[in-house]
Amino acid sequence: MEDIQDWAAQLLGNHAALQTYTPYLRQFYSIVTTAQSYIYPLIDKITHKPDIATIALLLVILFISLKLLDLLWQTVLFWLRLARRVVFWGGLVMLGLWLYTRGPEGVWADVQYWVDVWGQEKEYWKDKDRIARMARQGGKMKGGAGSWF
């Protein structure tokens, strides 16, 4: 408020400036006094009733916490999207390089080789599972209640 009074006193020395800025100064002064008339009673209520101040402080803390949590969530989403895009475009580049270096026939031969290898592995583990199931069923029949003998 003192700054406004100093500024107004400086303008009073220059009558031309005073006549130019007087309506604006009056409007500004009325806005400031109106704002003070609303803010001071609110501050007075908060200082005399600490319950309101506590609730207001908790709401502010909750709001800031939610904003920080949202910021963290957006950061996690950014990195996940970036990783997904890097994997997708990197995979496309690797596929293109594989096609370029081996040619379509070479890629087809590689795919057939790995399909055969994975098929053999699948059959191996299917047989292991079948043998384990038969052993479990046989063990229950002989000794009962899950024994092997």
What confidence tens digit (pLDDT) does each residue in 36-48 have? 888 888 777 777 7
Decide which of 73 and 55 is more confident: 73
| Tokens matching residue 69 | 């949590």
Nearest to 8 by CA among 21, 35, 55: 21
Residue 144 has pLDDT above 80, yes or no: no
Q: pLDDT at position 45, please? A: 75
| Tokens matching residue 31 | 């806005």
What is residue 70's DSSP assignment? H
Q: pLDDT at position 3, please? A: 72
Residues, the chain: 149
Average pLDDT value for the chain:
84
Give CA–CA dist 15/79, Å, rounded: 63
Least confident of 1-5, 89-93, 101-105: 1-5
Q: Which helix (H) or strand (E) holds 7?
A: helix 2-13
Distances (CA, A) of 10 to 19, 20, 137: 13, 14, 104
Decide which of 144 and 1 is more confident: 1
Residue 11 has pLDDT above 80, yes or no: no
Mean pLDDT calculated for residue range 98-125: 96
Supply the pTM of this predicted model.
0.45
Distances (CA, A) of 72 to 58, 64, 77: 21, 12, 9
Nearest to 11 by CA among 1, 22, 24, 2: 22
Query: Measured in whole angstroms, how far is the alpha carbon of residue 66 from the centre of its chain?
Result: 11
Residue 61 has pLDDT above 90, yes or no: yes
Give CA–CA dist 141/123, Å, rounded: 27
